[in-house]
Amino acid sequence: MPGFEVFGNEERKEVQDVLDSGVLMRYGFDGQRNGHWKAKEFENNFASRMGVQHCQLVSSGTSALTVALAAAGIGAGDEVIMPTFTFVASFESILAIGAVPVLVDIDDTLTLSPKAVELAITPKTRCVMPVHMCGSMANLSVLKAICNTHNLILLEDACQAIGGSYAGKPLGSYGDLGCFSFDFVKTITCGEGGAVITNNMKYFTLADHYQDHGHDHLGSDRGAETHLNLGYNYRISELHAAVGIAQLRKLDTILEIQKRNYLLIREELSKMAEITFRRVPETGVENYSFVNFFLPNAILAEKAHKALGEKGVDACFYWFKNNWHYINGWEHFKNLKSLGSLSSEIRLQIKNYNKVDFSNSDAIMGRTISCLVKIGWSKKEVKNRAIKMREAIESVL
């Protein structure tokens, strides 16, 4: 996920426009900004690249999820279904609006198991949040059917899969709302930033208001705007948005190189009969940011991960242990360690996740290794790396 690898003069030029006018904020100061509306421009370009009507930029991927949930009217005591394998932002955003995270198993797509989702639905469920981890997606058509049956909101976390698609639609645009992160290690970056996309005018309007203290953004006098609802400050700055404009122009080139590098690695790993790959749902196209594969069992996976490190193959992850992308690493969440007291709805309704059985997830994560795909590698470097990977894994088989 290499946006930072291609930071260059194009990004500098966009930022310089903002520095020249000195208007670092996205709203107001019309006369001083030399016609530069970087956040607005990025939003228009991003909505068009994602094939949706609306985009709301915010300060991070975590705030994108928070704003999306709030815009969909989710609040205290509502249940949101999320996977056991994800980034901590999933439960952080749910808890932030007072809702209750309901964790369920993943399957061999490394994303939400639709069966597990169905079993977890209660009268309090309001939203299903698939997380398209490591470049590939959840089975969105099945999840959508479940959501339609139970009248639930489908919110895609596409932070790690920007540029991938499902059923011909860009990831993030299939559900009711989609969220992206532009933090520094994502496929394209603003330094810090995030986006909510949707075709739903009402969600968009509420997101627009909520991320800026409830301002309705009508008229041209910010001080005189009305505030129909409470909001918060999740705004992006013009400086960050400016970086994103240049990065977005590079997205398709990044995806092409990622795909080339991914395929070279996968071809080499495929020579080992013992290695299988993460399942990509039918009609899905990955964004190729990671090569994700399974060893025959957890013991071999841990050994293979160690061997990869010893061979000098960096950026390979064994999420199952010593990593905060899997529930195993979330002691603070499982024990509800917060600075102050959490709201009573959360305390009363949340399960004791020290005691919930996630052996189905364990059986998959225990065997999974994910290796990052960078785009700075030459073809020769990727081939050498792929051979090193195969040799390291073969040494433990």
Please report, as ranges, the residues that interact with ligand PLP according to CB under 6 A: 60-62, 86-87, 89, 131, 157, 159-160, 181, 183, 194
User: What minimum distance in Å lies between the beta carbon of 35 and ligand PLP?
Assistant: 29
Select the residue whose beta carbon is closest to ligand PLP and give its number: 61
Gap between the Cα atoms of 261 and 63, Å rounded: 32
Whether 128 contacts 111, CB under 8 Å: no
Q: Smallest distance, Å, CB 59 to ligand PLP?
A: 8
Closer CB to ligand PLP, residue 87 or residue 319?
87
Nearer to ligand PLP, 159 or 375 (CB): 159
Shortest Å, Cβ 296 to ligand PLP: 27
What residues pair up with 165 in beta bridges, in sequence order? 170, 285
What is d(CA 302, CA 6) in angstroms, rounded to the nearest whole number? 33
Provide, rounded to whole angstroms, the least separation between the CB of residue 93 and ligand PLP.
8
Rounded-to-integer distance, Cα 146 and Cα 321, Å: 32
- Residue closer to ligand PLP (CB basis): 189 or 198: 189
For residue 63, give both structure tokens.
Answer: 């705030």
Q: Could you say which of 144, 186, 250, 374 is catalytic? A: 186
Active site residue 144: no
283 — alpha (psi -120 to 50), left (phi > 0) or beta?
A: left
Q: Residue 64 or residue 307: which is nearer to ligand PLP going by CB?
A: 64
Least gap, CB of 326 to ligand PLP (angstroms):
12
Nearest distance, CB of residue 158 and ligand PLP, angstroms: 8
Shortest reach from residue 115's CB to ligand PLP, in Å: 22
Nearest to ligand PLP of 160, 247 (CB atom): 160
Query: Which residue lies nearer to ligand PLP by CB, 83 or 114?
Result: 83
Nearer to ligand PLP, 59 or 349 (CB): 59
Catalogue the active-site residues: 186
